[in-house]
Amino acid sequence: MEDERQFIRKRFAELADQCLTERRYRYSDFLSLYGLSIFHEMEQELSFAEPEVFGGCDACERCMVRFGSKDLCGYSQEYPISILEIRPAMAKYASKLSHRDFLGSVIGLGLEREKIGDIFVKDNEACIFVHEGVAEYIIRNLEYVGRTNVRVSEISSVPEGLMPILSEKSILVSSNRVDAIVAKLYGLSRGEAAGLVKNGCVFFDGRMISKSTAAIMPGQVVSVRGHGRFVFDGEDGRTKKEKIHLSLRVYQ
């Protein structure tokens, strides 16, 4: 794990230095939450290259880091991200398709996971964010997801019907601690929730947290590996026994 960490740190430093020296934009691949957390640790020391994070739309969890700006490079440039829509060729004959089915089929073309961003799935259709360099290859070669024959096309934005849905939820907890909130929301014990934090599975806005006592601030997006993610909207008052009502929006 430490070797991977040092490799990622070195890569960020290289991209930032190349941007400054060559005065041209440089981009990371799509980052996992772990990689994104390492970037945020280095963000201040890399600020000379004016980095920004984006995954294709505001709802994306896997993101690229872009080093460079119009002021620094002398021109503007978009992220090298293409959006592909994948639909069954004949909907009535389609099998039930999941996120894992779509990801597995794309990876099965011989592509690296780092070239693939978020995948939004609904009703056997998917919207997938990919590095623009592999978009045409996927369009030409992806014929099946599972046993379902599919059609792939590039689109300019995510259709409203494929955007992630957030459902409002209210929970009652004893304190605004991440272990208490995660335990209540996902039906875990406090010990299990604390274990997720200890094992580096909980992130606030892409930053790994290390303390199960950490408080969540309104507006923060909390990602819990293996369970999901949610937006913390804040407190809605207390009961007579000092229990706290919390408002969340949970990604479905």
* Domains in the chain with CATH codes: 2-73 (3.30.1370), 81-162 (3.30.70.330), 166-251 (3.10.290.10)
User: What CA–CA distance (Å, rounded) separates 117 from 111?
Assistant: 12
The pLDDT score that the predictor gives to residue 229 is: 96
Q: What is the pLDDT of residue 92?
A: 84
pLDDT band of residue 212 (cuts 50, 70, 90) is: very high
Contacts of 236 by beta carbon, 8 Å cutoff, 6+ apart: 170, 245, 246, 247
pLDDT at 236 over 90: no
Q: What element of type H or E holds 82?
A: strand 81-88
Q: Are 39 and 51 in contact (CB under 8 A)?
A: yes
Instruction: Report the pLDDT value the prediction gives residue 238, as an integer from 0 to 100.
Output: 84
Strand (E) or helix (H) holding 234: strand 228-238
Instruction: Report pLDDT for 26.
Output: 98
Mean pLDDT, residues 21-25: 97
Per this entry, what is the length of the chain?
Answer: 252
Assigned token pair, 130:
């990919």
Per-residue pLDDT at 1 exceeds 80 = no
> Distances in Å between the alpha carbon of 229 and those of 27, 41, 131, 222, 241?
26, 21, 24, 5, 29
| 126: three-class secondary structure by DSSP | strand
- Which tokens in the block code for residue 219? 């507006």
- What percentage of the chain reaches a pLDDT higher than 90? 90
Other C-beta atoms closer than 10 Å to the C-beta of 80 total 14
Across the chain, mean pLDDT equals 95
**What one-letter code names the amino acid at 162?**
L
pLDDT at residue 250, rounded to an integer? 96
Tens of pLDDT along 71-110?
999 999 999 999 999 999 998 888 899 999 999 999 999 9
The answer to whether residue 232 scores a pLDDT higher than 90 is yes
pLDDT at 8: 95
For the sheet with 148-155, list strands across it: 116-122, 125-131, 81-88, 148-155, 144-145
Q: How far is CA 14 from the centre of its chain?
A: 23
Note the pLDDT of residue 226.
92
> Given a cut of 90, is residue 181 above it in pLDDT?
yes
Residue 53: what residue type? V
pLDDT in tens, 119-169: 999 999 999 999 999 999 999 999 999 999 999 999 999 998 899 999 999
Question: What is the pLDDT confidence band of residue 243, given thresholds at 50, 70 and 90?
Answer: confident
